[in-house]
Structure 1
Amino acid sequence: MIRKDIISIALASSIAFATPALAQDNDIGDWSGPYVGGSLGLAWQPNFDRDTLERLTFDTNGDGVYGDPVNTATGADAFSPGFCRGRALGSTPGTCGGDKDKRVAFSGYVGYDRQFGNIVVGGVLEGGRTMIGNAVSGFSTTPASYVLSRRMDWDASARLRAGVALPTNTLIYGTGGLAYAKVKNSFATNNTFNSFTETNRSSDEWGWTAGGGVEQKISRNFSIGVLYRYTRFKTDGYTVNAGQGTPPSATNPFVITPAGSTNIQRTNNVFDNHGIRATASFRF
């Protein structure tokens, strides 16, 4: 206990002595001018009902409207075993896993700020990787599993930011703007009776991002900080078509439909994440 108290006092004292050194007054200058930098941190996905209760959804008549049942030749629900979030580990419902809900995120950026009194406004262009991904699985009575997955390959943003500069050479700001991501989709199944054709495996997705942060100048040309952002995309378009296999079947649930095949999508088209990162910037 004494050792912990000594460590706590030492840390507090270090911070107290370091603060004046980091917060030199007018020698550091204002925030106006261009800068470049990088960030490193963690991204994670929320667990709303749309995520935890996600399932596969079907279009059996080719009208583009999903939510149709897939029935066997006797009229029973071909997907009565159910669905689960994550990647199927077998042919029957059980433990699903493999979602990359928490992953390292990193980026590089360029920006420009302008200070008016104690108000700072500017813009920033950023690009990097937020390596999250998720999947949803369905199970048919065959038995067989069907897994639709997506992952973010790389991402970028164009953001405005505005904040207040404190006398301690600290900037507190909010930020928001346009977000872009290259999303890779994939499909896996152990069904060997049907053909499966994927559409829009790689997609360019546009969304929005917003957040805020704190940045501290430690010299005229160098600053460090912490940034939080929430980013949201909609990933419409990825479709798997289950068609007739070889040899043809007159009783296969995917093909005894009005369209002669079945389109498969995910019920949740929102692909979002929270992120918190440490930043370091060089200012010109």
Structure 2
Amino acid sequence: MRKIITLGLAGAFALTAAPAFAQDMAEDAPFSGVYVGGAGGYDVQPNDIGSSILFDRNLDGRFNDSVLTGTGANAFGTPNGGFCNGRATGRTSLTNTAQGPGTCRNDDNGYSYYVRAGADHQTGNIVVGFVGEFGKSEITDSVTAFSTTPAAYVMTRSIDWEASVRGRVGFAANTTLFYGTFGPGYAKIDRSFFSTQSVNTFTGSGKKRQFGITGGGGVEQKIGKNFSVGLEYMYHQYQDDDYRVRVTGAAGTPFTNAANGGTASGTDFRRSDDQFRWHSVRATAAFRF
């Protein structure tokens, strides 16, 4: 009977001590475990000062040609031709004062929103883990060429969706985590073209999935046992150097004139800035299991 009573007391002690031990472990490592959550904020991109559109007139794959008029002048030269890092605002000339100032507007920044899941392991003050996320940014990035005819030619790219898987390393001060994060990204880039000119035919638009890099850092604050909120900065960069627009039709135009260095098969366009990049500042929230 004494042994039974002793075993019973030992079992009761174990049952009452286990939750307390688990609570102590949770308090000692508040950022260990699996979590799901989301992130949302505002994305800002550099305006790519000096960006332009490059031309391949003889379709040899080298974009170092000048498009010439029938008189041999540069069809995109001054005073009314040239380039701007943004989308044309309905005008067809870069500097024609009769059309007013502000021919181009800056690239569009926008909101972003993501869902995420991850896992962390905390040892002392050090936290290591990973996070994966999927979401959308509303930014658009354009560049415009103005010809002396006059006409505007606009190449634009935007993000249909973006996914990433990143490592995460941080330092926890009680229930506050300071961390850095870095890893590969994978995005669907939507490329489009628009021109105010209707004499020629323009072909080349579409979407492409592209690998890139993402990285940044932030701070996360535990709220209660299972919830945390935070603030995060992220940088995104994707190579986008293979988008082409071909100009055909209307024989004898600057794009199809074979008599002054071009070819009747047309001219190819591409952007000079081959990096699609932007910055994100966003709030985060997570539920930790």
Q: Smaller-chain TM-score range? A: 0.7 to 0.9
Q: If the length of structure 2 is used for normalisation, what is the TM-score?
A: 0.83
Please give the secondary structure, in 1, of the residue aligned with 2:204.
strand
Q: CA RMSD in A?
A: 1.7
Letter aligned with residue 134 of structure 2: G
Provide the residue aligned with 2:73 in structure 1: 76
Output the CA distance in 1 between the equivalents of 2:181 and 2:228.
17
2:195 is the alignment partner of 1:189: yes
Output the CA distance in 2 between the equivalents of 1:253 and 1:189.
15
Provide the residue aligned with 2:42 in structure 1: 42
Output the CA distance in 2 between the equivalents of 1:219 and 1:282.
10
Provide the residue aligned with 2:267 in structure 1: 262
2:125 is the alignment partner of 1:118: yes
- Residues 85 and 96, structure 1, Cα contact 8 Å, conserved in 2: no
Where in structure 1 are there 5+ consecutive unaligned residues? 1-24
2:227 is the alignment partner of 1:230: no
Aligned length: 251
Provide the residue aligned with 1:244 in structure 2: 249
- 1:139-154 mapped onto 2 (5 Å cutoff): 139-154=146-161
Please give the secondary structure, in 2, of the residue aligned with 1:210.
strand
Provide the residue aligned with 1:33 in structure 2: 33
Question: Residues 268 and 233 (structure 1 numbering): CA distance in 2 closer, same or farther, change over 3 Å?
Answer: same
TM-aligned CA deviation for residue 148 of structure 1: 0.7
Q: Deviations 1:189-219 (Å, cap 9, x if unpaired)?
A: 12121111115x2111211011111001111
- 1:163-202 mapped onto 2 (5 Å cutoff): 163-167=170-174, 169-199=175-205, 201-202=206-207
Q: If the length of structure 1 is used for normalisation, what is the TM-score?
A: 0.84
Output the CA distance in 1 between the equivalents of 2:105 and 2:131.
34
Residue of structure 2 aligned with 1:218, choices 211, 216, 223: 223
Please give the secondary structure, in 2, of the residue aligned with 1:52.
coil
Output the CA distance in 2 between the equivalents of 1:156 and 1:202.
16
Please give the secondary structure, in 2, of the residue aligned with 1:101.
coil
- Residues 36 and 110, structure 1, Cα contact 8 Å, conserved in 2: yes
Letter aligned with residue 54 of structure 1: S
